[in-house]
């Protein structure tokens, strides 16, 4: 039960015959009498990520506590949040660069050319970001000029200044700011998880110590008890020995 | 509270694990020199480090831009000095052709010298540096001035848009100049026409025309001097900003180091303390695991 509780919180009901029934989530049976019920990890649509099923029913949302729920929460809440933030940064970078770049002129006099392949939405932007294939194949299509003159660098400078532009988080943060905020968030959450885990471990240790204080064996205490009983035994033995000896003497006197 | 053997063993092993973990942490710091290896080691320092590194990268970028601009401006400065010298020499030649007692040969010499100076100025104004013309504006690769088959310098073919680069935040310097602003400025005709007029006037001994040409050359001289002054100011600005950026870069590096890198003295001291604690924990464990009362009874 201790190992099971490490994985996920379970509820234990004492039975009249001294055994226990174990349930998980909203009363989903794990052990009832001498019957056991399996939990299974089953791929769930549309993401394909595993969910916990009991008897064919997805009970992932019912689970509480434990390493399993921690892992699921990290997968379903924390990491998607980080990915969304990263995607937002990537999406904004693509849009900002494309907006500036498409207004410029390349070495061949062309204009309205995106630098990055445009993205339909922020979803998956960090994974999908790529230099436009035409630009990647021919660097002369990079539009550095604001007018159709080969030596102009207006667009290149505007792109460079994008570094200081407040384009994220409600126009209050630069791309770098947002990236550092994301790194801070990941570090803070990880630190909080480590500290929380440590605190929980300390609590568990304390509870274990309290339980052991009641039900555990103290070797010193047992040794003291053993000495006490040994001494009692020796005292009794001596008593009986003395009585026996006394009777022997008495019998020998009477027998004369 | 009863202290059981299991609880005592658990506490002992936890103590050893904690001491070992602390020792490993300091060993890692001593061996790598890095205090913050991952964001969770110090989230705040991680975020600050990212911002500092971005700022440092921008300092380096501005310094590189300044270096590049300095090279180009040094060339422009040299060319402008040359143009100014040539214009001074041209005015001297005009004066030499103006005297009432000058001979035809002297005037012809002056005319030829003026032609030579005109060609030299033309050469200066059509000098390119790293593939683009210094006085061609943003047209870049378009030759700003050229002669036709008759040897007449054609109108300006470059761009009137100058090209600048940022050598610091909000500090642009012009690195490619509008040649027409020097050659023509607000005059009706350009410098080369003034040269041509001066050559014709020198041969003809036309004092009025020479005087007019001399005025045009003087105005061109002033314009070139003004641009050279701008170049000088820009070169000084580059030197100042480069110094500031390098100082800022060093300060930024120091801040990143203080955030990210381990203080070696502190780490070594911490490692020694952790080792002592670890050995103490092991010693305590050996004492704890001795069943003292049993040992006593059995002993």
Q: What is the pLDDT of residue B298?
A: 58
Q: What is the pLDDT of residue B174?
A: 96
Query: Chain B within 8 Å of A80 (Cβ-Cβ)?
Result: no
Interface of B with A in 156-175 (CB under 8 A): 159, 161, 163-166, 169, 172
Are residues A87 and A141 both part of a single domain? yes
User: Which two three-digit tokens encode residue B119?
Assistant: 């060609």
| Contact assessment for residue B220 and residue B185, using Cβ atoms and an 8 Å cutoff | yes
Residue B100 has pLDDT above 60, yes or no: yes
Closest chain B C-alpha to A177 CA, distance in angstroms: 7
| Contact assessment for residue B56 and residue B64, using Cβ atoms and an 8 Å cutoff | no
Contact (CB<8Å) A187/B14: no
| Contact assessment for residue B38 and residue A187, using Cβ atoms and an 8 Å cutoff | yes
Contact (CB<8Å) B4/A216: yes
Cα gap A130→A133, rounded to integer Å: 8
Question: What is the per-residue pLDDT across B134-178, written as a single tens digit (0 to 9) for each?
Answer: 999 999 889 999 999 998 999 999 999 999 999 999 999 999 999
Cα gap A108→A110, rounded to integer Å: 6
| Contact assessment for residue A105 and residue A148, using Cβ atoms and an 8 Å cutoff | yes
Q: What is the pLDDT of residue B2?
A: 67
| Contact assessment for residue B39 and residue A187, using Cβ atoms and an 8 Å cutoff | yes
Most distant CA atoms of chain A, gap in Å:
145
Are residues A108 and A226 both part of a single domain? no
What's the CA angle centered on B252, arms B246 and B253, to 5 degrees? 90
Query: Chain A within 8 Å of B7 (Cβ-Cβ)?
Result: yes
Are residues A29 and A116 both part of a single domain? no
Are residues A111 and A227 both part of a single domain? no
B contacts of A160 (beta carbons < 8 Å): 61, 166
Residue A147: helix, strand or coil by DSSP? coil
Closest chain A C-alpha to B130 CA, distance in angstroms: 12
Query: Chain A within 8 Å of B176 (Cβ-Cβ)?
Result: yes
Contact (CB<8Å) B6/A157: no
Q: Which domain holds residue A247?
A: 217-256
Query: Chain A within 8 Å of B21 (Cβ-Cβ)?
Result: no
A contacts of B166 (beta carbons < 8 Å): 157, 160-161
Q: Given CA atoms B63, B67, B72, B74 in this order, what sign does their dihedral have?
A: positive
B contacts of A194 (beta carbons < 8 Å): 40
Best of B43, B260, B288, B298 to mutate (most A CBs within 10 Å, chain A): B43
User: Which two three-digit tokens encode residue A135?
Assistant: 């630009």
Are residues A46 and A170 both part of a single domain? no
| Contact assessment for residue A96 and residue A37, using Cβ atoms and an 8 Å cutoff | no
Query: Percent of chain B having pLDDT more than 90?
Result: 70
Go through B262-297 and write b for each residue having 16 or more CB atoms within 10 A of its CB, e for each that does not. Answer: beeeebeebbeebeebbeebeeebeebeeeebeeee
What's the CA angle centered on B48, arms B43 and B54, to 5 degrees? 130
Domain-ending residue, one of A31, A63, A95: A63
**Cross-chain CB nearest to B2 (options A186, A205, A218):** A218
**Cross-chain CB nearest to B139 (options A150, A164, A218):** A150
Q: What is the pLDDT of residue A66?
A: 87
Contact (CB<8Å) B40/A194: yes
| Contact assessment for residue B195 and residue B114, using Cβ atoms and an 8 Å cutoff | yes
B256 Cβ contact partners less than 8 Å away, ≥ 6 residues apart: B49, B52, B53, B56
Interface of A with B in 145-204 (CB under 8 A): 145, 147, 149-153, 157, 160-161, 163-164, 176-177, 179-181, 183-188, 190-191, 194
**Cross-chain CB nearest to A205 (options B10, B46, B161):** B10
Question: What is the per-residue pLDDT across B43-99, written as a single tens digit (0 to 9) for each?
Answer: 999 999 999 999 999 999 999 999 999 999 999 999 999 999 999 999 999 998 887
Are residues A144 and A72 both part of a single domain? yes
Residue of B nearest to A153 (CA): B163
Q: What is the pTM of this model?
A: 0.79
CA distances from B254 to B45, B206, B247 (A): 13, 71, 11
Cα gap A111→A101, rounded to integer Å: 8
Are residues A77 and A198 both part of a single domain? yes
Q: What is the pLDDT of residue A47?
A: 85
State the average pLDDT for chain B: 91
Closest chain A C-alpha to B2 CA, distance in angstroms: 5
Residue B293 has pLDDT above 60, yes or no: no
Are residues A69 and A139 both part of a single domain? yes
A contacts of B141 (beta carbons < 8 Å): 150-151
Are residues A207 and A222 both part of a single domain? no
Closest chain A C-alpha to B72 CA, distance in angstroms: 14
Question: What is the per-residue pLDDT across B3-55, written as a single tens digit (0 to 9) for each?
Answer: 677 777 778 888 888 889 889 988 888 888 888 989 999 999 999 999 999 99
Q: Average pLDDT for residues B266-281, to the nearest whole number?
A: 90
B contacts of A177 (beta carbons < 8 Å): 51
Are residues A73 and A169 both part of a single domain? yes
DSSP bridge partners of A14: A20
CA distances from A243 to A27, A190, A251, A252, A253 (A): 66, 75, 12, 14, 15
DSSP E strand boundaries for B20-153: 128-129, 132-133
| Domains identified in chain A, total number | 3
A143 Cβ contact partners less than 8 Å away, ≥ 6 residues apart: A101, A102, A103, A104, A105, A106, A110, A111, A113, A115, A155
**Cross-chain CB nearest to B4 (options A152, A184, A213):** A213
Are residues A75 and A149 both part of a single domain? yes
Are residues A246 and A206 both part of a single domain? no
* Segments of chain A with pLDDT less than 70: none
Query: Chain A within 8 Å of B128 (Cβ-Cβ)?
Result: no
In degrees and rounded to multiples of 5, residue B298 shows phi and psi of: -75, -30
Residue of B nearest to A201 (CA): B14
């Amino acid at each position: 039960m201790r190992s099971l509780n490490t994985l996920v919180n379970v509820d234990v009901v004492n039975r009249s015959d001294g055994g226990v029934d174990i349930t998980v989530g909203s009363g989903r049976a794990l052990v009832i009498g001498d019957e056991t019920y399996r939990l299974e990890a089953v791929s769930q649509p549309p993401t394909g990520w595993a969910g916990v099923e009991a008897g064919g029913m997805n009970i992932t949302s019912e689970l509480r506590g434990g390493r399993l729920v921690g892992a699921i929460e990290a997968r379903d809440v924390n990491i998607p949040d980080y990915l969304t933030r990263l995607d937002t940064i990537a999406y904004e970078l693509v849009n900002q660069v494309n907006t500036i770049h498409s207004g410029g002129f390349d070495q061949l006099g062309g204009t309205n050319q995106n630098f990055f392949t445009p993205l339909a939405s922020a979803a998956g932007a960090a994974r999908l970001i790529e230099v436009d294939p035409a630009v990647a194949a021919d660097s002369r299509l990079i539009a550095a000029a604001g007018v159709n003159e080969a030596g102009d660098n207006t667009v290149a400078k505007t792109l460079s200044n994008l570094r200081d532009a407040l384009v994220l988080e409600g126009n209050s943060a630069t791309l770098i700011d947002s990236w550092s905020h994301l790194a801070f968030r990941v570090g803070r959450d990880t630190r909080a998880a480590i500290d929380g885990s440590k605190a929980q471990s300390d609590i568990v240790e304390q509870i274990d110590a309290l339980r052991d204080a009641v039900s555990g064996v103290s070797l010193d205490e047992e040794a003291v008890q053993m000495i006490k009983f040994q001494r009692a035994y020796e005292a009794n033995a001596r008593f009986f020995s003395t009585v026996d000896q006394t009777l022997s003497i008495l019998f020998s006197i009477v027998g004369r | 509270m009863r202290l059981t053997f299991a609880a005592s063993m658990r506490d002992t092993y936890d103590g050893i694990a904690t001491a070992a973990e602390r020792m490993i942490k300091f060993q890692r710091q001593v061996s790598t020199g890095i205090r913050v290896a991952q964001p969770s080691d110090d989230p705040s320092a991680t975020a600050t480090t990212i911002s500092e590194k971005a700022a440092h990268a921008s300092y380096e970028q501005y310094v590189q831009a300044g270096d590049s601009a300095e090279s180009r401006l040094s060339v422009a400065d040299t060319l402008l000095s040359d143009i100014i010298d040539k214009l001074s020499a041209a005015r001297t030649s005009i004066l030499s052709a103006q005297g009432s007692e000058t001979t035809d040969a002297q005037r012809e010499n002056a005319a030829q010298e003026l032609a030579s100076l005109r060609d030299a100025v033309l050469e200066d104004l059509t000098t390119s540096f790293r593939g683009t013309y210094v006085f061609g504006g943003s047209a870049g690769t378009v030759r700003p001035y050229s002669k036709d088959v008759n040897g007449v310098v054609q109108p300006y073919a470059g761009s009137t848009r100058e090209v600048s680069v940022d050598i610091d935040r909000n500090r642009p310097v012009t690195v490619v100049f509008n040649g027409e602003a020097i050659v023509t400025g607000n005059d009706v005709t350009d410098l080369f026409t003034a040269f041509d007029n001066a050559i014709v006037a020198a041969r003809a001994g036309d004092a009025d025309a020479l005087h007019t040409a001399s005025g045009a050359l003087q105005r061109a001289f002033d314009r070139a001097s003004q641009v050279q002054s701008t170049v000088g100011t820009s070169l000084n600005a580059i030197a100042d900003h480069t110094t500031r950026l390098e100082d800022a870069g060093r300060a930024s590096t120091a801040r990143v180091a203080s955030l990210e890198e381990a203080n070696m003295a502190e780490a070594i001291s911490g490692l020694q303390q952790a080792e002592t604690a670890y050995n103490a924990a092991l010693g305590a464990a050996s004492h704890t695991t001795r069943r003292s009362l049993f040992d006593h009874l059995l002993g």
